[in-house]
Structure 1
Amino acid sequence: MAQREIQQELSVDQFTLGLVGPDQEWAGTVADGGTVRTHTPAGCWGPMITPEFRGGHEVTRPIAVEGAEVGDAIAIHIEDVEVTSIATSTGSMREREGAFDSDPFVDHRCPECGAEWPETVVEGTGEESIRCAECGANASSFGFEYGYTVVFDDERTVGLTVDEEAADGLAERADEAMALPENSRQHPILLYKPSEMPGALGHLRPFIGNVGTTPPIELPDSHNAGDFGQFLIGAEHDWGLESEDDLEERTDGHMDISEVRPGAILICPVKVDGGGVYVGDLHANQGDGELSLHTTDVSGRTTLGVEVIKDLDIDGPLLLPNREDLPHIAEPYTDEEREAGTALAEEYGVDLEEMGPIQVIGSGATINDATENAFDRAGKLLDMSEGEVRGRCTFTGGVQIGRLPGVVQLDMLAPMAKLEERGIAHLVREQYDL
């Protein structure tokens, strides 16, 4: 990474073609305690139908944070997420045989002329509109198994699914309606104009689907997680991995956890000097599990504060969600609860622990694997046996599903003394006014 001027506030308007890794061109360096601003294009569907992409998202170039070194962590304070798209299309996917080799998100090829990652042009609208610039064939790897188009109100509080006529009109102005930034290179998914399920009204609550730090090996950005990353094991393309051990290099930026929204603090591992924070794949809303594997992908602006935590040495992210996003059992104690607990402690002669909420993110091939991964990460973070982690999570927390098949949030009220030792107690106190 070349030396760059350190900026207190850094605006990023350049994106990758679906890859994350230390060799990607860096966007610049922001000061420790500084602010990052982005306007990112929609993730998932747009890059998925654009064969030039090597991964399923279009994320920012990596951002260095002053003083971040391997073994540190970066606390990302999510200050604002603003949806700029006025509509999007989404749904469950079907793969087009012949348009890829082993992975429809990664190794694209034209099904007729065989060009790898072919350049494409748009001809008309609909699922036949993405054409190979060389031979004119339909070159996209994906279509909809079941799809719908959603429009948003001006305040981005609700979304409404529309009928065929409205979807067709949005397809005719797809770039504008998706609000794709100037440097975006994806085709907008509104071109496909799906119109099933018209008239459904949904609550919106925007969040960031893919945000984190750069892994020490180059990965497709949508595969920087323990579940999607399984597709890389044994793959013959340039980003194939030999074994599950190689996937340990991931940083789990692709979480699709809806609580990664304004007000939350995400603590990410530093596995390359500078950290390499990147952002993308904003969603207008999503239920737990992302059951269609896709949701309302949108363009949008983010404002992030960054803070280096020295020597934290974590394998994957920690999340401090908004208080209202915590399950009841993992909420900070009320004054009345603490008073009752203090009385019990005095009666039975034990010391009352001071505790605070944390979520340890785990990922893996399945939900069970992801939970085991979270147990391992929590045990390492807090110097606890798996038995103690399980006990504390049963009594003061639990597990939530971020994404099927394998991303979870492991909730726990953790001893503040342990968090003090690891250098993150101040973040927990700040987040929950402890």
Structure 2
Amino acid sequence: RGGHEVTRPIRVENAEVGDAIALKIREIEVTSMATSTGTMRERKEAFGDDPFVDHQCPECGTEWPDSVVEGTGEDAIRCVECGANASSFGFEYGYTVAFDEERTVGLTMDESGAHELAKDAAEAMDIPENSRQHPILLYEPAEMPGTLGRLRPFIGNVGTTPPVELPDSHNAGDFGQFLIDADHDWGIENEDELEKRTDGHMDVSEVRAGATLLCPVEVDGGGVYVGDLHANQGDGELSLHTTDVSGTVRMDVEVIEGLDLNGPILLPNEEDLPFISKPYSEEEREAGRELAAKHGVEMDEEMGPIQVIGSGATINDATENAFDRASELLEMSEGEIRSRCTFTGGVQVGRLPGVVQLDMLAPMDLLEERGIAHLVREQYDL
């Protein structure tokens, strides 16, 4: 159960607890022709503690009722048992987007265009054969028609299986807060239980083709899963939803023995790095050598970009979590981590309310000791 559909966990040969798995994302192909999204409105009568994992029919009370589609619009999804509107959500403000053939841009539809797509929603969204979801195009929202947006697909939910049962959408420090003291099957008692998460649900738009994601192995074989593809998203996912689509992902995997991570590390495409986090050019290194000689200081010649993912109830909590993870990874004090990130990196918002990327240029000798220097060199041609 969860707010997303994800693949079944995939076992990676030779991956053992205490290792890490590098997911090298080679290709993401969007197969949907259109989607709908926007800011959501909860139908509180259709769930208990949590609209994503505690669903019930608002009329007959059946938990996770089977449903059928009748027509289009926000009341199209009906409970098989009693015929009531069975959805937990509607749109507060919603829009429908159609994509060009190359999936490079999308254009928002007016009421007529949204309705035409809704009539053939499953085909337009290319819903997989074994899917258990109804296509969001059925809702046919039609706000802000005629708006053009650039597409750059990425994976919103990807990683390894945690050692405790968590809904896929709540495998993160922010959404996971809703499980604490919740009165349903996935409720947990306290924050300590949430520490076992693997932060698969990141919604970090830089997790796209060309990036490498390092994930902790917390169960035998890792249990790699993928889902929640997005056609695009601005940093922060400010609507809490974006352009969810169907598609295919191709990845290579590599087991990093003995790299005991407590959260994901991202090596994004170089063009996605902040300016001060990019690898040094030869001209910059030469200027640095001249400064080092002038002032009698030994310069670190080899530095490599890394992004440590942090999550928490708020952005501040997520940043503290990233500091802790980076400190443990590099065996540095929090003061040194903060200083290095200020001088050679920064923090970026992946998702509100609480997922961040902590950028820094890390000494390659430390990355060598951790067994990931070769991945950084490969990623950035160092």
The secondary structure found in structure 2 opposite 1:98 is helix
TM-score (normalizing by structure 2): 0.99
Measured in 1, the distance between the counterparts of 2:293 and 2:303 equals 18
- State the Cα RMSD in Å: 0.5
Structure 1 stretches of 4+ with a deviation exceeding 4 A read: none
Query: Is 2:329 the counterpart of 1:372?
Result: no
The secondary structure found in structure 2 opposite 1:412 is strand
Segments of structure 2 that go 5 or more residues without pairing to the other structure are none
The correspondence of residues 123-272 of structure 1 with structure 2, limited to 5 A, is 123-272=70-219
The secondary structure found in structure 1 opposite 2:304 is strand
Measured in 2, the distance between the counterparts of 1:238 and 1:134 equals 22
Amino acid in the other structure paired with 2:306: I
Query: Is 2:15 the counterpart of 1:82?
Result: no
Measured in 1, the distance between the counterparts of 2:344 and 2:154 equals 26
Q: CA deviation at 1:350?
A: 2.0
Q: CA deviation at 1:131?
A: 0.5
Query: Is 2:340 the counterpart of 1:392?
Result: yes
Q: Percent same amino acid among aligned pairs?
A: 79
Query: Is 2:236 the counterpart of 1:307?
Result: no
Query: Is 2:354 the counterpart of 1:406?
Result: yes
Counterpart of 1:433 in structure 2 is 381
Measured in 2, the distance between the counterparts of 1:62 and 1:324 equals 31
CA-to-partner distance for each residue in 1:91-136, whole Å, 9 max, x for gaps? Answer: 0001102100000111111111110111111111101111110010
Segments of structure 1 that go 5 or more residues without pairing to the other structure are 1-53
Measured in 2, the distance between the counterparts of 1:360 and 1:350 equals 29
CA-to-partner distance for each residue in 1:138-170, whole Å, 9 max, x for gaps? Answer: 111000000000000000000000000011010
Query: Is 2:68 the counterpart of 1:121?
Result: yes
CA-to-partner distance for each residue in 1:318-365, whole Å, 9 max, x for gaps? Answer: 000000000000000011000011111122222211211000000000
Measured in 2, the distance between the counterparts of 1:197 and 1:137 equals 30
Counterpart of 1:325 in structure 2 is 272
Q: CA deviation at 1:55?
A: 0.8
Measured in 2, the distance between the counterparts of 1:56 and 1:396 equals 36
Which of 204, 223, 236 is residue 289 of structure 1 equivalent to? 236
CA-to-partner distance for each residue in 1:253-284, whole Å, 9 max, x for gaps? Answer: 00000000000000000000100000000000
Which of 55, 69, 79 is residue 16 of structure 2 equivalent to? 69
Measured in 1, the distance between the counterparts of 2:277 and 2:45 equals 48
Counterpart of 1:105 in structure 2 is 52
The correspondence of residues 21-40 of structure 1 with structure 2, limited to 5 A, is none
Amino acid in the other structure paired with 2:165: E
CA-to-partner distance for each residue in 1:159-197, whole Å, 9 max, x for gaps? Answer: 000000011010110000000111111100000000011
Amino acid in the other structure paired with 1:211: V
The secondary structure found in structure 1 opposite 2:366 is helix
CA-to-partner distance for each residue in 1:234-255, whole Å, 9 max, x for gaps? Answer: 1011111111110001000000
The secondary structure found in structure 2 opposite 1:155 is coil
Amino acid in the other structure paired with 1:355: M
Measured in 2, the distance between the counterparts of 1:163 and 1:173 equals 16
Measured in 2, the distance between the counterparts of 1:384 and 1:69 equals 26
Measured in 2, the distance between the counterparts of 1:111 and 1:433 equals 56
